[in-house]
């Protein structure tokens, strides 16, 4: 046992004394010490209930012969952090989460880990730590929130958090009253759990299952269902099997497993943030990963699920329809899945999907009847983004797949949002938001507020938004993010001027600034790096260490 270093021999009597001070008996100390990384808090709706799941995990560990040792992990709610300085801390928290799990596991000689995340950066942060530590590990997420019902349309389409964001734009454009907005606000988020669409949190929880680090059901069982508690108990039991058989993340998170996860990503229409996170996790796992893989796998993988924000279905619908295992089984029929990969069940992907079935062919479509022939994400290249940029193409309206228009240039999200809400953006415009990248932000803020305002004002069929920042998984429309290199590094986006024409061709994977090279070189000769926006604290250190978005925005020391 790895924990022998903290509990065996006469030299470890002081260590055992400290464990006994926590209430552990000699019998418990002799068992494998299983870390339970619990990201519960009472700020984040996806995490407010996680102590209940942690108790179930600990019960499972005890039943299987281990001793659970629980520790806390921070978590940011992207929705609450949105559109103010708090969003600068969201992506930046991912590195702290990974580091803190590493510290707790190594400092206390833990034998294995059960990790309990739910929301946006907590899932990838914990996956990065699991890959780095390579201890036997298993994930059990907190599960998705149920969707809401519009107070004035009880039999109408379901609503969610994005409905609220877009309703703000509707109020500002005069299409909705503030009283109606208040009613939507009260109804959109009816339970605890990660926000109910295929936004970043649920995207990453589904991909955790697809890559093999969570049990079947990890991505889709709603937070409020007793099946979620049972899943947590089973995960606690299963970690002892993984420990006994030494099935570690390096055996699970292989190149083939990442390819499986990307195929599921494309079939589901996941958040653009999955590109950042899968890249970062792959680096920790020592698995080659570049943006060209996105286009390669997206180009051959059909889009089978039309999930909010691009469609009308929610995670509860996907769960009812058969969940991630049913999606994997359908993809496997077309040869898009490597069924030999080992998973946290201690069985292969092929064995896991034997009894999976599609129970609603509208929620999970067949390979012969996809929503789109190609996958959810696309990476565009061109003189504006030499190292690439990312768009959720399945959430883009048909008329915006190809678009050209004049640039409306803003050096911050705040200025762009004000211009949109004040009615200064017109049909045909291309809104450019820069100096919001990993270094320039710092922290690479999500642009859900301006994109939701564009949609709420019914401009999403006429206006594109480009940024070196990123987007919420809840964003829809021609929203193109992660433009690399970023403006703060002198990338071409820093050279765009008001009125320049920008051509976007998503099917051709191209994005072009229609300005002569000689003009760009002259502009570059005049460009000066901006002064750091923040000079103290964690974000100052983050800005100095973080790398480019096209490489996962990881600390440069890791790349």
Give which of 245, 212, 347 is closest to 32, Cα–Cα. 245
Q: How crowded is the C-beta side of 135, counted as CA atoms within 13 Å?
A: 28
Cβ contact 158:216 at 8 Å = no
Distances (CA, A) of 556 to 153, 546, 553: 50, 6, 8
Q: Which residues are catalytic?
A: 472
Q: Which two tokens stand for residue 476?
A: 């829809």
Q: How far apart are CA 377 and CA 375, in angstroms?
A: 6
Looking at residue 40, what DSSP letter applies? -
Q: Which two tokens stand for residue 322?
A: 């058969």
Q: How far apart are CA 98 and CA 122, in angstroms?
A: 9
Q: Which two tokens stand for residue 493?
A: 């986006």
**Four-CA torsion 435, 437, 442, 446, nearest 10 degrees:** 110
Residue linked to tokens 């309703």: 167
Is the peptide bond preceding residue 235 cis, with omega within 30 degrees of 0? no
Q: What is the DSSP secondary-structure string of 454-502?
A: HHHTT-TTT-EEEESSB--TT--SSEEE--SS-GGGT-GGGG--TT-EE
Along the 559 residues of the chain, how does pLDDT read in single tens digits?
Answer: 999 999 999 999 999 999 999 999 999 999 999 999 999 999 999 999 999 999 999 999 999 999 999 999 999 999 999 989 999 999 999 999 999 999 999 999 999 999 999 999 999 999 999 999 999 999 999 999 999 998 888 788 899 999 999 999 899 889 999 999 999 999 999 999 999 999 999 999 999 999 999 999 999 999 999 999 999 999 999 999 999 999 999 999 999 999 999 999 999 999 999 999 999 999 999 999 999 999 999 999 999 999 999 899 999 999 999 999 999 999 999 999 999 999 999 999 999 999 999 999 999 999 999 999 999 999 999 999 999 999 999 999 999 999 999 999 999 999 999 999 999 999 999 999 999 999 999 999 999 889 989 988 999 999 999 999 999 887 889 999 999 999 999 999 999 999 999 999 999 999 999 999 999 999 999 999 999 999 999 999 999 999 999 999 999 754 3
- The sign of the torsion formed by the CA atoms of 6, 9, 14, 20 equals positive
Give the contacts of 446 (CB within 8 A, at least 6 positions apart).
Answer: 78, 82, 87, 90, 469, 470, 471, 472, 475
Residues in the chain: 559
Q: How far apart are CA 152 and CA 167, in angstroms?
A: 14
Looking at residue 311, what DSSP letter applies? S
């Amino acid at each position: 046992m790895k924990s022998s270093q903290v509990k065996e021999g006469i030299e470890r009597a002081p260590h055992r004394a400290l464990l006994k001070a926590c209430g552990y008996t000699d019998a418990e100390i002799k068992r494998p010490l299983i870390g339970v990384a619990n990201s519960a808090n009472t700020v984040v709706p996806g995490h407010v209930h996680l102590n209940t799941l942690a108790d179930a995990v600990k019960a499972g560990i005890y039943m299987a012969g281990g001793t659970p040792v629980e520790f806390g992990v921070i978590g940011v709610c992207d929705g609450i952090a949105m559109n103010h300085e708090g969003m600068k801390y969201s992506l930046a928290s991912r590195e702290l989460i990974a580091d803190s799990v590493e510290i707790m596991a190594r400092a206390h000689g833990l034998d294995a880990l059960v990790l309990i995340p739910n929301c946006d950066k907590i899932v990838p942060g914990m996956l990065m730590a699991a890959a780095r530590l390579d201890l036997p590990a298993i994930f059990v997420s907190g599960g998705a929130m149920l969707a809401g019902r519009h107070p004035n349309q009880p039999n109408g389409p379901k609503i969610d958090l994005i409905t609220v964001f877009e309703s703000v734009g509707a109020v500002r454009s005069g299409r909705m009253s503030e009283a109606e907005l208040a009613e939507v606000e009260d109804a959109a988020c009816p339970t605890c759990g990660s926000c109910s669409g295929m936004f970043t949190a649920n995207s990453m929880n589904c991909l955790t299952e697809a890559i093999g680090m969570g049990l079947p059901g990890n991505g889709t069982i709603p937070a409020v269902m007793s099946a979620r508690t049972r899943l947590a108990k089973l995960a606690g039991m299963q970690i002892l099997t993984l420990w006994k058989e030494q099935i570690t993340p390096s055996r699970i998170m292989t190149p083939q497993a990442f390819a499986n996860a990307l195929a599921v990503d494309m079939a589901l229409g996941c958040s653009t943030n999955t590109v950042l996170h899968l890249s970062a996790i792959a680096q920790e796992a020592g698995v080659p990963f570049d943006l060209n893989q996105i286009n390669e796998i997206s180009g051959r993988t059909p889009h089978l699920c039309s999930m909010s924000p691009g469609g009308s279905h929610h995670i509860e619908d996907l769960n009812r329809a058969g969940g991630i295992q049913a999606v994997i089984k359908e993809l496997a029929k077309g040869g898009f899945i490597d069924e030999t990969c080992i998973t946290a069940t201690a069985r292969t992907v092929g064995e896991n999907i034997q009894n999976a079935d599609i129970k609603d062919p509208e929620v999970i479509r067949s390979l012969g009847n996809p929503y789109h022939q190609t996958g959810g994400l696309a990476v565009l290249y061109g003189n504006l983004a030499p190292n690439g940029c990312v768009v959720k193409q399945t959430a883009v309206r048909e008329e915006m797949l190809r678009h050209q228009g004049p640039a409306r240039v803003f050096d911050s999200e705040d200025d762009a949002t004000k211009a949109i809400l004040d009615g200064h953006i017109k049909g045909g415009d291309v809104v450019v938001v820069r100096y919001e990248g990993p270094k320039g932000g710092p922290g690479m803020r999500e642009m859900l507020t301006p994109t939701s305002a564009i949609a709420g004002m019914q401009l999403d069929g006429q206006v594109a938004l480009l940024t070196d920042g990123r987007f919420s998984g809840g964003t829809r429309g021609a929203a193109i993010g992660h433009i690399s290199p970023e403006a703060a590094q002198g990338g071409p986006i820093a050279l765009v001027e008001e009125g320049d024409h920008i051509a976007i061709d998503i099917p051709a994977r191209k994005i072009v600034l229609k300005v002569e090279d000689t003009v760009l070189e002259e502009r570059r000769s005049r460009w000066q790096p901006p002064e750091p926006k923040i000079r103290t604290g964690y974000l100052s250190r983050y800005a100095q260490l973080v790398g480019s978005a096209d490489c996962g925005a990881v600390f440069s020391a890791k790349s």
